[in-house]
Amino acid sequence: MKGHSITPVVGLFGGGGGRFGIGGRDGTTYGLRYDLRAGGTIGFGASVAQGTLERLIVDPFVRLADRVSGPVEQKTTFADLSIQLNVTGGKTWHRIAPYAGVALGMAFGSDVAADTSDYEFGNKFYFAPHIGTRIFLTNRVLLRADARATFWKLNYPDSFAEEPRLEPGTDDEPNAVIPDNQMDEWVVSPWVQVGLGFLFRL
């Protein structure tokens, strides 16, 4: 069905938070999505969401026994644009309209006062291929659900490659957080969202 829709959404954001668990993960999100059904098979969308995620704190400056703490909460705001392919074209199948697409966006992480290391999540570009479906309860009301794989890149501070002053290691047994100089990594987090949408025409 052609037209516009507004959908309040809630979601669950998962993932492992990278190899140290300090990327956002395991939290709830809520937000708002706008969709434009421009043609039979192509649709465009824009969404904003606020998440309360969990993450660990890794402090490279203390003794090894005290290095990892948490989890702590981190507020994260998501904003993205998406394009989707409507599998059933301009029609529905028994009022069901599945789709597949990809979203490109930015995530903005709040500061965590308890984290006194040099690590900051900051602002991250992400891309999220996804699949989902819309179920038209009426000609104007729809139920929407989709599952995303959200990719972003974590960058670790130089201090993670340094030996801790209180408990330095050796060349053979280093105690640095990152002894191999791999200072960044791409991580992927599953993100499931559902919402009740309202279709309208201008």
Question: Digits of tens for pLDDT over the chain (202 positions)?
Answer: 567 999 999 999 999 899 999 999 999 999 999 999 766 788 999 999 999 999 999 999 999 999 999 999 999 999 999 999 988 877 778 889 999 999 999 999 998 988 989 899 999 999 999 999 999 999 889 999 999 999 999 999 999 999 999 999 998 999 999 999 899 999 999 999 999 999 887 6
Rounded to the nearest angstrom, the gap between the alpha carbon of residue 65 and the centroid of all alpha carbons in its chain is 30
CA angle 55, 129, 124 (to 5 degrees): 40
Q: At a CB cut-off of 8 Å and minimum separation 6, what does 19 contact?
A: 185
Q: How far apart are CA 33 and CA 78, in angstroms?
A: 11
User: Can you give the pLDDT at residue 87?
Assistant: 87
Residue closest to 74 by CA, chosen among 54, 49, 57, 58: 54
Q: What is the pLDDT of residue 39?
A: 63
Please name which of 32, 109, 116 lies closest in space to residue 73, comparing C-alpha atoms. Answer: 109
CATH topology of domain 3-157+187-200: Porin (2.40.160)
C-alpha 168/C-alpha 84 separation (Å) is 52
